[in-house]
Structure 1
Amino acid sequence: MKKYNFIVAVFVVMIIFLIIVPLPPFWLDLMFILNLTLSFVILITSMYIRESLEFSIFPSILLITTLFRLSLNISSTRLILLKNGNAGMVVKTFGEFVIQGNAVVGFIIFLIIVLVQFIVITKGSERVAEVAARFTLDAMPGKQMAIDADLNSGLIDEQQARERRLKIQREADFFGSMDGASKFVKGDAIMSIIVTFVNLIGGVIMGFINQVGSFREIMQIYTTATVGDGLISQLPALLISVATGMIVTRSASENNLNEEVAKQFLSQPKVLIMSGITIGALCLIPGFPKLQIITVSVGMVILGVILNRKGSPVVQAEEGLLPETEVTSEASYYKNIDNVYGLLAIEQVEMEFGYSLIPLVDESNGGSFIDRVVMFRKQLALEMGMVIPSVRLKDSGQLNPNQYCIKFKGEEVARGDILVDHYLALSPGEIAEEIEGIDTIEPAFNIPAKWISNDKKIKAELAGYTLIDPTSVIITHLSEVIKAHLHELLNRQEVNNLLANLRKTNETIVNDTIPDIITVGNLQKVLANLLREGVPIRDMETIVEILSDYGAQIKDTDMLTEYVRQSLKRAISHKFSEAGQMKVISLDAKIENMIMGAVKKMDSGSYLALDPQTIQNIVSATTTEINKIKDLVQIPTVLTSPIVRIYFKKLIDQFYPNIVVLSFSEIDNNIQIQALGNISLA
């Protein structure tokens, strides 16, 4: 098709020349017929498209065809005025056919045609295009949010979302262009009226100057030529105006206009029968032509009866066989074993809601939950360097109306209760006044709280309570659960996505390291170790470089993780310190030596082999120190030597999974360390 790309450019250049270069009658006739043909092609095309974007070049076509008609008007006017009304056979034939020997009647009919196009079709198309453009632009944000919602809920993938966004943008561009292009049609209609009077008045003047004949003969010649020229110009303009109206009023559907009209008009046979009977009643009015009325009435009734007979058995069959057909269809579908495997697919992150909570999630009811999930995904990517997968949202009849649950890979990991029309009130500790409410536990942090009604909101705020709306309660719970299980969501596909993103800025380090020095599987284990302890993996370049340095000699992923952690000490220090200060509990050297003496090394790694009594003593000592500082720090941090950190973390993790264990090598030099206690054995 590329070899035909020049045709449109040549055609537009030719139109420009038509305005300047005089055309002989033969070539003008050819151009008029070509113009009429193009108009029919455009009109029929507009009837067969399913939606406006299938004919997205229409605004440009409208401009080109309008320019083409105006150039032909100029050429025909030139011939009418110079050749005594002889502007070719097409103009003459159209003029004589309409006038039928009476110049006045023919001229009035022509004016009616022009005014119908200008006032009815063109004006209507222009208004529809203007409204469509305005509403399309106004609806863009809502449509884009709906696409994001479908993407977040897993109904569509990223490629489909991108295609839908592009389609919305194209629709806005199209209707915006149509709003302006419809002005071409309006201007063309006005210009046709002006050209008509120029041809008539100028022709009569030229007729008298050239002494063509008597006044009656001059009027006959130039009226015929004027009406013929105007009609051959306005007929294509009328067709394209109709096509404009069809396109701007065409909504997206499964079929084209012909099929939709036939389907929707003939889908109600009773309407046809009633209409036929109503028309037949006009025979009771004296003076009406009974033969014509009876013909139309009988035809409508017969058509309605035929369609009703054809439609009834279909409806009965559908009503009677529907359950059996569904069962048979389902059984047939699952005969294919590949379809059974489709049932095994599970969502990585899924949320189920009781029916009372659906308004919080449903965007059509003003719910903002989906937008909050999108913003959380953005924030987590900036904070931890990982993009969480789409969260599948659905309702569940198995939950209580006010309950929701969070699932990872098909299994429930958390659950909560929400009162939609209430606020969750968190007490700051000492309060001036107790607020009446329903006692509960905040689901994300297990803090005692109360659900208070909306009428007590102001009173609770004045009393010092912190109020949280239901959507924020759920999104906070979801975010904390995802952060706690983030390492589980890091699959190999996501690792490959992170590597692909790194290749955009440092392709060399990725190619040098993966998979020659470290495999994607081992990289996944290192990243999961970091995420398990809340260490961001956003600096993938540094992580891969450290693994490239040590991966050839060290095969233990736990040890590789320790080297990576030391290289990320700025990020770790920033995350676990506050205002440049870190409050910690130190680990006694005696316990460290005891732990190191119990480390057993194997080919696949190393493990800690302490006797149960020693483990209990270390845990008891840790518990004592944590209880001493629980009012000073929210999350306790234990500081150890680098070689002991990983083993102490594994030991204490069984009893205190949320405790932070850091080594001296993971703390930046500008961080001030404040020791609040020391874990030691008595």
Structure 2
Amino acid sequence: MNFSELVSLIRQKLKSGLAVPIAVLALLGMVTIPMPPFLLDVFFTFNIVLSMVVLMVTIYAKRPLDFAIFPTVILLATLFRLSLNIASTRVILLEGHEGGAAAGKVIEAFGEFVIGGNYAVGLVVFAILVVINFVVITKGAGRVAEVSARFTLDSMPGKQMAIDADLNAGLITQQEAQQRRSEIATEAEFYGSMDGASKFVRGDAVAGILILFINLIGGFAIGVGQHGMPFGDAAQVYTILTLGDGLVAQIPALLLSTATAIIVTRVTGAERKDMGEQLQMQMFSNPKALGTTAAIVGIMGLIPGMPNLAFLSFAAIAGTGAYLIHRQQRLQPQQAEVAAAQEMEEEVPTSSELSWEDVQSVDILGLEVGYRLISMVDQSQNGQLLNRIKGVRRKVSQELGFLVPAVHIRDNLDLKPNQYRILLMGVSSGEGEVFPDRELAINPGQVFGEVSGMATKDPTFGLDAVWIAPSDQDQAQALGYTVVDASTVVATHVSQLIQDYAYELLGHDETQQLLDKLKQTSPKLVDELVPDKLSLATLVKVLQNLLREKVSIRDMRTIMETLTEHASRTQQPGELTIAVRAALGRSIVQEIVGGDGELKVITLDPSLEQILLQATQGAPEGQLAVEPSLAERLHKALKEQAEQVEISGQQAVLLVAPQIRAQLARLFRFSLPNLWVLAYSEVPENRQISVVANIGQGG
């Protein structure tokens, strides 16, 4: 069997799942079956190689979860090393009287070459390794793993809320949400396992100390008592073997402890770079640090009596590095300006006569950003805003039932550097200020503490929020804050404005596209209604009325069938909207309270409802002619009752007669945005209703 066939066989065993059981059985065999020195050399060498491979994997891992099996690897490597210690102890005690090579060449080499044959030096080196491994690295890594596990578990609710917020805002799909939830669960399990794995490493260090004393005392006793060796020879042979065995086990243990410390202290950023790239970006990106170091070391190198050559050499290296970094950072903006100027020269058109192409139409949806926010929309700079807005369009289009127009993004130097503005038909409909290098911690209503940062308001819903440093994200989530980045803030604002003004985004072209889509499955229905019974303009108005009150138009078949039924009786968009809402009653109520929840409603006193019915007679369509004092009392009473219903965790619903529903909904649309206004005819017959309040003329 050649080498390639051996590698292929090993891969097949790994894929078949037999490798780990075979390895565990081999560990048991090492404990119970005496091993020849040759196999000890092979296994000790393999132990060192395995430890170095694990250390290199942790260094080059982008994030801790990329090496999620690390705790299991630590356990198996520790068991393997302890099994080797048992096997080597057996050989040392049984065959040690024959000389230094009795336990294999590796132990002899570490006993002779590494410590130079000096027992005192060997003991000191071994003691230092144990102190470094046990007291410094293992203890520190165990503490970090314990704290990381605790904070990871505490921050899970906040992270789950952030995922739900992104999902509800359309920034991620259901599959991406499930993947993120799985990553959070895996992260919690990983740090919990690391907390336990650090205990194995710590116990391994203690076992190394005990095994050293067992080999020294037991070997000396066996050599002198059973084999009649002179005191000096026994001390020399068994000390070399014991120190060699201890060193050959402690060096891999030190490597694994270092790997454990590295992986639990890693901080994963959004860019997910390995350890070397993070060191380069975070330690050697500021020329001031290297320049100051070069100056201090250079001054120390000029002091008489100091090692001048060493100090001055490193001062020159640090100074050269600072100069090169400063030069590179200074040239980057100039190179960017030259590239931008070249692009502008290529884009400047040749002078020609004016035409209609030079008259730019107003964008239906637009987003203007300040110059510091350009990086958020530049994908070459890892900007996520474009992808977030695409996700918003996809989700909102699915919910509303028509394709939302594209959002045109451009920079505006008239805005503040961190300001953005959302435009609808060229008119500013919303704006805010975000910081790309910070995270927004939003107070959802109940938090368990405060975080340091810049206090502000969430631009979408007006909630209290704080702009925090990315390093404080876990702390904020553990305190109950919902933490989102700047791109999510802007995308959520865009999503909310699209839903608020969806009725303005639906025009004749979009309605015709809806008809063309429905015609593929129900051609007779479309041909019978438009344009014979109902004009396209009237259909557009009915659909806009539905969207104005956040009623989805996904069920176009039901909408068209209802309009076909009532178009012969009336052509008024308001009356047709009443009929369509009654047909869509089940989906409207389900949107409010879910599939089978009880509908808690607020009703009006019959005398008050009669007054409002009379106020609609003679008034223009969609308007309500009531006294200002009556409207004010009605608004105050509804606000109080709606707040009480919302405190109980329910949606506030006002149930009225169909003739005045649209007028009341328009009257309280902005002053009571969370109040749903339903007509009696819109409530399904099988839906349970509970009246929580009744409002009269006096409020």
Structure-2-length-normalised TM-score: 0.56
Give the equivalent residue in structure 2 for 1:67: 79
Gaps in structure 2 of 5+ consecutive residues: 1-10, 350-359, 371-395, 433-460, 462-492, 512-517, 531-538, 590-598, 636-653, 670-675
CA contact (8 A) 1:583 1:637 kept: no
Q: Hey, what's the Cα distance between the residues in 1 that align with 2:28 and 2:363?
A: 63
* Correspondence for 1:215: 231
Instruction: Please state if 1:44 is matched with 2:65.
Output: no
* Separation in structure 2 between the aligned mates of residue 537 and residue 195 of structure 1, nearest angstrom: 74
Please give the alpha-carbon distance, in whole angstroms, between the structure 1 residues aligned to 2:236 and 2:222: 14
Alignment of 1:381-400 (within 5 A): none
- Letter paired with 1:243: A
Q: Does the C-alpha gap of structure 1 residues 102 and 560 become closer, same or farther in structure 2, counting only changes over 3 Å?
A: same
Greater shift, 483-492 or 293-302, is seen at: 483-492
1:355-406, Cα deviation, whole Å (9 max, x unpaired): xxxxxxxxxxxxxxxxxxxxxxxxx9xxx999999xx999999899xx9998
**Bigger CA drift: 130-139 or 233-242?**
130-139
Aligned residue type for 2:24: V
Q: Which of the numbers 531, 535, 539 marks the counterpart of 2:546?
A: 531
1:109 aligns with 2:125: yes
1:94–1:232 CA contact under 8 A, matched in 2 = yes
| Deviation (angstroms), 1:317 | 3.5
Pair 1:69–1:394, CA change in 2 (3 A):
farther
Alignment map for 1:2-17 (pairs within 5 Å): 4-5=14-15, 6=17, 7-17=19-29
2-side partners of 1:20 and 1:526: how far apart? 86
Aligned residue type for 1:256:
D
Match of 2:321 among 299, 307, 316: 307
Alpha-carbon separation, structure 2, partners of 1:552 and 1:56: 61
Q: What amino acid is aligned across from residue 267 of structure 2 in structure 1? A: S
2:392: which partner in 1? none
Q: CA deviation at 1:227?
A: 1.0
User: Does the CA contact (< 8 Å) of 1:565 and 1:666 recur in 2?
Assistant: no
Rounded to whole Å, the distance in 2 between the matches of 1:351 and 1:617 is 45
Aligned twin of 2:603: 578
**Structure 1: which 5+ residue stretches go unaligned?**
336-342, 354-379, 417-443, 445-476, 496-510, 592-615, 677-682
Show CA shifts across 1:592-612 (max 9, x none). xxxxxxxxxxxxxxxxxxxxx
Instruction: Report Cα offsets for 1:14-71 as digits up to 9, x if no partner.
Output: 2233223332222121111111110111122222233323322222211111111011
User: Does the C-alpha gap of structure 1 residues 318 and 53 become closer, same or farther in structure 2, counting only changes over 3 Å?
Assistant: same
Report the equivalent of 1:280. 301
Distance in structure 2 (CA, Å) of the matches to 1:39 and 1:103? 26
- State the Cα RMSD in Å: 6.2
> In structure 2, what is the equivalent of residue 270 of structure 1?
291
Alignment of 1:616-655 (within 5 A): 618-619=618-619
Q: Which amino acid aligns with 2:127?
A: L
- Counterpart Cα distance in 1 of 2:13 and 2:82: 29
SS at match of 1:100: coil
In the alignment, what sits opposite 1:421?
A: none
Looking at structure 2, the residues matched to 126 and 413 of structure 1 have their Cα atoms a distance apart, in angstroms, of 53
The reply to whether residue 129 of structure 1 matches residue 145 of structure 2 is yes
Residue correspondence of structure 1 range 151-550 to structure 2 within 5 A: 166-252=182-268, 255-261=273-279, 264-265=283-284, 268=287, 269-282=290-303, 284-285=304-305, 293-307=307-321, 310-311=324-325, 313-318=327-332, 323-328=337-342, 411-412=427-428, 485=501, 487=503, 528=543, 531-532=546-547, 534=549
Q: In the TM superposition, what is the alpha-carbon distance from 1:138 to its structure 2 partner?
A: 4.2
- Describe the shift of the 1:216–1:666 C-alpha distance in structure 2 as closer, same or farther (beyond 3 A): closer
Over 3 Å counting, the alpha-carbon distance change for 1:210 and 1:572 in structure 2 is closer
CA deviation vs aligned residue, 1:276-334 (integer Å, no higher than 9, x gap): 4244245x24xx6xxxx133123224324543554565455446566444443566699
Report if aligned partners of 1:276, 1:298 keep a CA contact under 8 Å in 2: yes
Deviation at 1:212, TM superposition (A): 4.5
Q: Secondary structure at the match of 2:603?
A: coil
Tell me: higher relative CO, structure 1 or 2? Use CA pairs within 8 A at least 6 residues apart.
2
- Between stretches 125-134 and 525-534, larger displacement belongs to 525-534
Kindly tell me: are residues 413 and 113 of structure 1, through their superposed partners in 2, closer, same or farther at Cα, counting changes over 3 Å? closer
Judged with a 3 Å threshold, the aligned counterparts in structure 2 of structure 1 residues 575 and 276 are, in CA distance, closer, same or farther, namely closer
TM-score (norm 1): 0.57
Q: Which residue type is aligned with residue 50 of structure 1? A: K
For residues 666-681 of structure 1, what are the structure 2 equivalents within 5 Å? none
Q: One-letter code of the match for 2:42?
A: L
- In 1, Cα distance between the equivalents of 2:167 and 2:681? 44
1:257 partner letter: M
Q: CA–CA distance in 2 between the matches of 1:235 and 1:665?
A: 77
> Aligned partners of 2:622, 2:337: CA distance in 1, in Å?
65
Contact persistence 1:526–1:560 (CA under 8 A):
no
Amino acid aligned to 2:314: M
Provide the rounded CA distance (Å) in 1 between the counterparts of 2:223 and 2:161: 67
User: Which shows bigger deviation, 630-639 or 241-250?
Assistant: 630-639
Deviations 1:552-601 (A, max 9, x none): 9999998997776455567889798728979655999xx9xxxxxxxxxx
Partner deviation per Cα, 1:135-163 (whole Å, 9 max, x = no partner)? 44445555556666777788777766665
Q: CA deviation at 1:183?
A: 1.2
Displacement, 1:188? 0.3
Q: Which amino acid aligns with 1:201?
A: I
Work out the CA distance in 2 between the residues paired with 1:326 and 1:132.
Answer: 45
* Residue of structure 2 equivalent to 1:599: none
SS in 1 for 2:34: coil
SS in 1 for 2:96: coil
Q: What is the percent sequence identity of the aligned residues?
A: 33
What SS does the corresponding residue of 1:84 show, helix, strand or coil? helix
| Contact kept in structure 1, 2:582 and 2:681, CA below 8 Å | no
Query: Hey, what's the Cα distance between the residues in 1 that align with 2:547 and 2:201?
Result: 66
Contact kept, 8 Å, 1:36 with 1:235, in 2: the verdict is: yes
Letter in 2 for 1:43: L
Decide whether aligned partners of structure 1 residues 656 and 128 sit closer, same or farther in structure 2, where only a CA change above 3 A counts.
closer
Greater gyration radius: 1
- Is the 1:276–1:301 Cα contact (8 Å) retained in structure 2? yes
Give the superposition deviation at 1:197.
1.1
Closer/same/farther in 2, CA of residues 233 and 141 from structure 1, 3 Å limit: same
Aligned mates of 2:69, 2:348 — CA distance in 1: 45
State the partner residue of 2:481. none
Structure 1 residue 109: Cα displacement = 2.7
Aligned to 2:113: 97
Q: Deviations for 1:44-101, whole angstroms, at most 9, x for unmatched residues?
A: 2222233323322222211111111011111111212222363222222212224433
- Alpha-carbon shift at residue 125 of structure 1 (Å): 1.9
Structure 1 stretch displaced more, 554-563 or 213-222: 554-563
CA distance in 1, matches of 2:507, 2:189: 40
Q: Is the 8 A contact 1:572 1:667 kept in 2?
A: no
3-state SS in 1 of match to 2:103:
coil
Shift in CA distance, 564/244, structure 1 to aligned 2, threshold 3 Å = same
- Indicate if the aligned counterparts of 2:110 and 2:244 stay in contact, CA closer than 8 A: yes
Structure-2 residue corresponding to 1:84: 96
Question: Is the 8 Å Cα contact of residues 525 and 561 (structure 2) preserved in structure 1?
Answer: no
Q: Say if 1:10 and 1:319 are closer, same or farther in 2 by CA, change over 3 A.
A: same
Q: Is contact 2:169–2:495 with CA below 8 Å preserved after alignment?
A: no
Task: Give the number of equivalent residue pairs.
Answer: 515
